């Protein structure tokens, strides 16, 4: 198991896209700045989707520009298609992630494309990324959404996930990630699928898990992934997040709980957990009444807790 985990905060994108209210731009900036200052190394600041579909994400270009001024912060965004990727590159995003639903029904609902069309889109984005000068070229990851199950189709065949992962890499993606979009995964399934996809595309082409805690297995699934060589975990401050096109799929892993688990185990994150807990105040004040989750924020840190003391 790795001795250090890279935490990618997805709350400003996955969290905020899942609620009706629009967080003010200045509050988003304060949130991003505060998390970066406590040591969060990567933040997915938004997504380049049409504002009429997700008005919560209309200010993503401004957030990318702001986040790029923060020293040491990796600035990530989600893009649904080639047009979104072009906007992300123009804005200066350092990492772009495109969702690729392993459930074709979910893909049609989410991005209105079947699997063949998504592979074509991946190839077009990869070519556009490759054409960018090395110093401004973003890292291009494809997130294999609904990899562990779908709220529309139910179980998703693992052979299909492996096959589509191979096709995404062949089309030019730098790496793939596995996403439990619907909160269906269990630890045995996570270990099995991570092992199979790594074997198919190369161990260095699968580093990331995006997990939900819908049924309380988020941290168990994260640990299972780490045992299979995963080094990057997505999470959301306060557990905000879900998928607008997967009914009932609520609850990203709570960043605060994830950091506590890792640091308590002696796995380095580079994050000051005590200060991270204070960042929740920004969300609570900007979105009064919005439910925030997490056991660690409620219980507090154990007496004598020191973390990895970086």
Average pLDDT for consecutive 10-residue bins of the chain (310 residues)?
95 90 96 98 96 92 98 97 96 97 88 92 97 95 96 93 98 97 94 98 97 92 98 95 51 94 96 96 94 91 84
Q: Which two tokens stand for residue 34?
A: 């505060």
- Which pLDDT value is given to residue 242? 54
Q: Are 10 and 30 in contact (CB under 8 A)?
A: no
C-alpha 75/C-alpha 44 separation (Å) is 6
Q: Which two tokens stand for residue 96?
A: 């772009």
C-alpha 17/C-alpha 243 separation (Å) is 8
- Main-chain phi, psi angles of 275, to 5 degrees: -75, -30
- Which pLDDT value is given to residue 282? 97
Other Cβ atoms less than 10 A from the Cβ of 192: the count is 14
C-alpha 284/C-alpha 233 separation (Å) is 24
C-alpha 67/C-alpha 237 separation (Å) is 17
C-alpha 191/C-alpha 150 separation (Å) is 19
Q: Which two tokens stand for residue 71?
A: 């020293």
Domains of the chain: 6-299 (3.20.20.70)
Give Cα 246 distance to the centre of its chain. Answer: 16
Model's pTM, two decimal places?
A: 0.94
C-alpha 85/C-alpha 132 separation (Å) is 12
Q: Are 42 and 8 in contact (CB under 8 A)?
A: yes
The DSSP string of 239-296 is G--B-TTSTT-B-BPBHHHHHHHHHHTT-B----HHHHHHHHHHHHHHSTT-----HH
- The catalytic residue among 54, 64, 243, 249 is 243
- Which pLDDT value is given to residue 170? 98
- Which pLDDT value is given to residue 114? 92
C-alpha 274/C-alpha 260 separation (Å) is 10
- Which pLDDT value is given to residue 106? 86
- The kind and range of the H/E element at 197 are helix 187-201
- Which pLDDT value is given to residue 12? 96
Angle between the N-to-C axes of helices 82-91 and 115-130, in degrees from 0 to 180, rounded to the nearest 10: 30
C-alpha 163/C-alpha 47 separation (Å) is 27
- Which pLDDT value is given to residue 245? 46
Q: Is 243 a catalytic residue?
A: yes
C-alpha 283/C-alpha 77 separation (Å) is 20
- The kind and range of the H/E element at 234 are strand 232-235
């Amino acid at each position: 198991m790795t001795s250090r985990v890279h935490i990618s905060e997805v709350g400003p994108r996955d969290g905020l896209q899942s609620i009706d209210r629009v967080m003010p731009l200045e509050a988003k900036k304060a949130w991003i700045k505060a998390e970066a200052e406590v040591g969060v190394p990567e933040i997915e600041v938004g997504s380049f989707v049409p504002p009429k579909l997700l008005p919560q994400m209309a200010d993503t270009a401004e957030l990318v520009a702001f986040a790029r001024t923060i020293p040491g912060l990796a600035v990530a965004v989600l893009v649904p298609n080639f047009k979104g990727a072009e906007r992300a590159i123009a804005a200066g995003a350092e990492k772009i992630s495109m969702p690729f639903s392993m459930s074709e029904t979910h893909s049609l609902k989410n991005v209105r494309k079947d699997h063949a069309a998504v592979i074509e889109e991946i190839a077009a984005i990869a070519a556009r990324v490759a054409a960018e000068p090395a110093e401004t070229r973003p890292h291009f990851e494809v997130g294999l959404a609904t990899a562990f199950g779908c709220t529309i189709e139910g179980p998703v065949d693992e052979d299909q996930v492996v096959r589509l992962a191979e096709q995404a890499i062949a089309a030019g993606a730098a790496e793939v990630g596995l996403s439990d979009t619907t909160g269906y995964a269990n630890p045995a399934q996570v270990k099995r699928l991570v092992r199979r996809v790594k074997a198919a595309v190369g161990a260095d082409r699968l580093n990331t898990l995006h997990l939900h805690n819908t049924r309380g297995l988020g941290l168990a699934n994260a640990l299972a992934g780490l045992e299979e060589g995963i080094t990057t975990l997505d999470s959301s401050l306060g557990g905000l997040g879900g998928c607008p096109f997967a009914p009932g799929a609520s609850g990203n892993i709570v960043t605060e709980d994830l950091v506590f688990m890792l640091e308590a185990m002696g796995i380095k994150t580079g994050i000051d957990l005590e200060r991270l807990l204070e960042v929740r105040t920004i969300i609570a004040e900007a979105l009064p009444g919005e439910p925030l989750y997490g056991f660690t924020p409620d219980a507090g840190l154990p007496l004598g807790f020191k973390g990895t003391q970086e």
